[in-house]
Structures are given as structure tokens and as C-alpha cells.
Structure 1
Amino acid sequence: MRWSTVLKRAALVPPTLLGVGIIVFVLLRVVPGDPIAMMIPPGASSADIARLRALYGLDQPIVTQFITWFGQVLSGDFGRSISLHQRVLELVIARLPATLELCSLAVVMALLLGGIVALLGVTFRGRAAEWLVDSGIGFFLAIPDFLWALILLLVFGVLVPLLPISGRLDPQREIDFSTHFYLLESLATFRFDIAADLLRHMLLPALALALPFAALVARLLKAQLAEAEDQDYAQIARTRGFSRGTILRSEVLPNALIPTVAFSGVQVTLLLGGTVLVERIFSYEGIGNMAIDAVVNRDFPLIQGLILTFAVLFIALNLAVDLVVALLDPRLRHG
């Protein structure tokens, strides 16, 4: 991929975010419901309601509200949460690392599980065991991540209570982290007891997110491996006496990874969106869980800030995947 292409895609980021901001801003204000009505106590006077509406700028026309909000966003101010009474940017910064760590763990688990299953399926190609692998992949694909979350919650939280089913960390544990990336900081500072506790709390929600993703990776990678194994270069390597394992590892797998990586990048964005329900089910303290509270409370500034955050993450992931695919594929690197 040439740098000009990368720059062109990067140049589309600002108008894309502007479009997302306009759509979200307008939709929030045309759907039924008033956030001020959810804030005021019973018996509040009309003057109190008018004062609150003026405080949050909801008494202005939509165009004026958008211009004011967009100007604040450009200066790094996403407004103040109506329900939590804190700066939106501070809330997002505090919760985003938890979601990023959860998604990172889920992606690693999905790629490892999917890769192992794909290699097993190709190894047993043409035998009865391949049918079992394909059936297992179809089964895991049929169950969405939020349903896996409920199943894991029931099995490992109720029937066989082996793992914690809520929160990010044991509430009785005292922590003094400098950042909100608890897992990374605990590993960097060799506080492995805290890291182990964090992983125990993350394991079930990460597994719920990873299982459908792993099935998709396994299906695609298995198909790509089977197709690459039938190519001429693999057949020539076999006639030269190389073992099948060596051919799969050295010749077939590198070529099969390119479309798999491109596909996986798209699925990572879907996985990120799946954190909304999974975090809610496990009471995990990330931006997905906070997004549901923001919608329930009709917290306009918080919803807008969270959607823009998700949009930035989606765009960044897509750009990163494009760069990785270009690095893996010499045809794109050179031309």
C-alpha cells in the first residue's frame, strides 16, 4: 500500500467523524423523551425546568446547539454528563482502558482458538474428524456473544461457581494505580496478584466475546488453508519431499493469513460493539456498560461522547488492519 493511499484514507477521518456527530446529535433530539424530565424531582416548578434546560443548552434551536457542542468538541470539551454530573471526557478516559483491555484479551483468545481449530480441520481434511470440526464451528457461530455471556454466567457463576461474574476487580482489594490500564500497569510493576485477579474477572466476558469470533476465524482460515494447500507451490514442495506439517507452516499458512487478517479486522470492530451487552451482563466497568446507562438516562452529552469514541476506535482499527494487510502482502507493498 502506498503512503498516498494511507494519507487519503486518513484525510477522510475528519469528515466521517463530523457526519457521525451530526447524525447522532440530530437523532437524539428528534426521538421522544426529555432528559430534564428524568432529572427533576416530583413537584418541580416550570421555572426550575426552564433553568435546567438553559443550563444544558437544550432551550436553543438544534442548529445552535450543534454549533456550540461541535465548537466545544474541537477544543477537547465533550460537555458535562447530565446523569453523572462529571465531564464526559473524564468519564470516557476512566472507562475506556477497561474496555480496551477486555477486547484485547478477547481478540488474543479468539485468534489462538480459531487458529488451532483451523489447523486441526485442515490436518484432518478428508476424514471423519473434519466433519466434527466443521460441526463445532457451526455450533459456535450460531450462538451470539451476549447469549454466550448468559451461558457462561449460569455455568461458572451459578452451577459451578469457579470464577467471579461481576466487576473488574475484587472490591476489597486496595489499588493505587497511576493509570486506568490496570492489567498493563499491574504486569509492568510486577504486581502479579492483582493481574491474576483482573484476569479472573475478565475471563468470562472475554470468552463470551471470543467464542463467536474464534469460530469465524476458524472457518475462514480453514478454507484459506485448504485452498492454499491445493496451489501449485504447495504441490511442488510436497514432490520435493517436504512433510505436510512443514508445508502448512512455511508455505501455506503465510498466504492464508492475508485474507484472514483483513476479515478479522472487520470482526474486531463488531467485537468492540458487542462489549455493550456483555459488559452489562457481567457488570464490567467499561464504556459499553456506561453506554447503556447513558441511553436509559437520556444523557445526551455522554451518549454523544461515547458514540464518537466508538467511531474513532472503528476508524483506527480499520486503518491499522489496512496497514497490517499491506505489510503482509508484498503485492500491496510494492505496488
Structure 2
Amino acid sequence: MGRTALLRRLLLVPPTLVGVAIVVFVLLRVVPGDPIAMMIPPGASTEDIDRLRAAYGLDQSIAVQMLAWFRDLATGHLGTSISLRQNVGSLILGRLPATLELVALATLIAIVLGTALALIGAFYRRRAGEWAVDGIIGIVVAIPDFLWGLIFILVFGVLYPVLPISGRLDPRLPVEFTTQFYLVEALVTGQLSVARVLLSHMLMPALALALPLSAIIARVLKASLAVAESADYAQMAKARGFSRRAVLLNEALPNAAIPTVTLTGVQFTFLVGGTVLIERIFSYEGIGNMAVDAVINRDLPLIQGIVLTFAVLFIAINLLIDILVTFLNPRLRRG
């Protein structure tokens, strides 16, 4: 990506976020349901209801509410949660690190599994090994992540209880964290026993998220390896006497990885959104689980903040992936 293209992408970020904010704000206001009705106790008077509605600005027109929200956004304030009565920004920052750690672990697992399957399928092309890999890919990609989660709970949490099935951390563990990035902090500070406990809680939800993505990575990378292996540089390496394994690893894989990197970056953002069901199933304390509660409680400010956070993550990650792909492919640096 050249400087001009990068600048153009950066200039598009503010209007994109404004568009997302407007669409989400309007849609949430026109969808049936009253968040105030979920807050009031039985027998509340009309005056109490009107007072609550005015306190959250819901007695104003949609246009006035939107302008007030944008004024708050300009000062870095995402609003106050209706159901939790706390600052939305603080709530999101308290849960987002847990989701990012889970998605990062899932992506790492998916890359390792997907790359291994692709290399095996490429090495045993037109033989039983490739057919077996294609069969595995077909089965894995056909099962959605939430169903993998339920399968893992049944097998490793009930039939063979070797892993915890809920939560992010054992509440009995005597440890205090200074940040919300528990796993990163435990690894950096050398608390390996704490890191093992965290990983044991994260493993099943991370695997559930990783398996469908690993199948997609394997399918794309295997096809890219077939193209790269037939290219001139790979054929020249074979002519110089390099083994097929060396050609695959040293010549074909670096070039075939470029479309896979792009795919993985895009899928990373989808994984963040996909954590909604997985975090709910495993009672994992991330932003996805909080999003479900926000929708159930019709918590408009919290929903708006979460969606806007997802939009920022999506834009930022895709921009980073574009830069990384440009770094891997020097031909894209011009322009």
C-alpha cells in the first residue's frame, strides 16, 4: 500500500465511523421495545417513568438524542449504561481485553492447524493424504463454532471432565491483576501457574472459535500452495536438486502466505463478533457476553458503544493487515 492509498484509507475512517454510528443509533430507536420499562419496579408511577426517561434523554426526538450522543462522543464519553448505571466506556474497556485475548489465542490455534493441514494436503497431493485432509476440512467447516463449543463441553466437561466449562478464571485463585489482560500479564510477570489456569479456561472456547477458521485457512492456503509450487521459481528450485519438502517450505509457502494473511486478518474481526455466542455458552466474561446482556436489557447506550467498538476494531485490523500484506509483497508499495 503506497502512501497515497494509506492516506486515502485513513481519511475514510472518520466518515465510516460516523455512518456506522448513525445507522446503529437510528435502528435501535425504531426497533420495538422500551428500555425504561425494564428498569421500573412494579407499581411505579407515571411521574417516575417520565423522570427516568428524561434522565436518559429518551423523551427527546431521535435527532436531538443523536446530536447529544455525538457531542458526548466528541469528548470521549460513550454514555451511561441504562441497566448497569455505569460509564459505557469503562464497561467496554473492562471486558474488551478478555475478548481480544480469546480471539488472539483462537487465531493462533487456527493458523497452526490450518497451516499444518494445508502443508500435509499439498505434500500428498493427488494421494490419500490430500483426500483425508479435504475430508477433515469439509467436516470441520460444516460445523459452526457454537456447536463445537457444545460438543467440547459435553466431551471434556461432562464425559471426561478435564477442563473447566465456564468463567475466565478460577475465583479461588489468590491472584490480583493490575490490567485486564490477564493472560498477557501472567506471562510477562512469569506467573506460569496462573497462565496455565487461564489457558485451561480459554482452551475450549478458543478451539470452538478456531476450528472453522482453521478449515478456511487450510483450504485457501492449500490452493495457494498448488499455484506457488507450479510457478517458475519453485520449478527452478526443484531443478537445482532441492527436495519437494524444501521447495514447499522455503519457496512456495512464503509466497502462498500472502492471501492467507489477508484472509486471517478479515476473519479475526469476524471472530471478535463471533465471540457473542461462544462467550455466552462458556460464561466467559468478555465483550460478547456483555453484548448479549445489553440486547436482552435493551440497554441502548451500551449496545451503541459495543457496536462502535466493533467498527473501530474492524477498521483498525483491516488497515494493519493491508500494511502487513504490502510489507510482504513489495510490488504493492508503489502508488
Scaled by the length of structure 1, the TM-score of the pair is 0.98
Give the letter aligned to residue 198 of structure 2.
L
Shift of 1:151: 1.0
Once the two structures are superposed, residues 173-221 of structure 1 have per-residue CA deviations (whole angstroms, 9 ceiling, x without a partner) of 1332111111111111111111111000000000000000000000000
Query: What is the 5 A alignment of 1:143-162?
Result: 143-162=143-162
Partner of 1:266: 266
Matched residue, 2:100: 100
**Hey, what does 1:128 align to over in structure 2?**
128
Rounded to whole Å, the distance in 2 between the matches of 1:50 and 1:190 is: 54
State the one-letter code of the partner of 1:306: I
Decide which moves more: 97-106 or 264-273.
264-273
What is the match of residue 171 of structure 1?
A: 171
Match of 1:224 in 2: 224
CA distance in 1: counterparts of 2:224 and 2:291, whole angstroms: 37
| Percent identity (aligned) | 64
**Map of 1:70 onto structure 2:** 70
CA offset digits 1:206-237 (Å, max 9, x no partner): 00000000000000001110111112221121
Please give the alpha-carbon distance, in whole angstroms, between the structure 2 residues aligned to 1:9 and 1:254. 27
Structure 2, unmatched stretches of 5+, are none
Unaligned runs of 5+ in 1: none
| SS of match in other structure, 1:285 | coil
Match of 1:32 in 2: 32
Give the drift of 1:334.
Answer: 4.0
**Matches of 2:126 and 2:29, distance apart in 1:** 58
Q: Which residue of 1 aligns with 2:325?
A: 325
The whole-number CA distance in structure 2 between the counterparts of 1:269 and 1:87 is 25
1:289-310 CA distance string (max 9 Å, x none) = 0000000000001000000001
Following superposition, the deviation at residue 254 of structure 1 comes to 1.0
2:280 aligns to what? 280
* Matched AA of 1:193: S
In the other structure, the counterpart of 1:188 is 188
SS at match of 2:197: helix
Q: CA deviation at 1:333?
A: 2.2
Moved over 4 A (4+): none
**Normalising by the residue count of structure 2, what TM-score does the alignment of the two structures yield?**
0.98
Distance across 2 between alignment mates of 1:206 and 1:93:
21
SS at match of 1:12: helix
1:264 Cα offset (Å): 1.5
1:207 counterpart residue number? 207
- Residues in 2 aligned to 1:309 and 1:104: alpha-carbon distance in whole angstroms: 17
Q: Distance in 1 between matches of 2:303 and 2:135?
A: 40
Deviates more, 1:156-165 or 1:225-234: 225-234
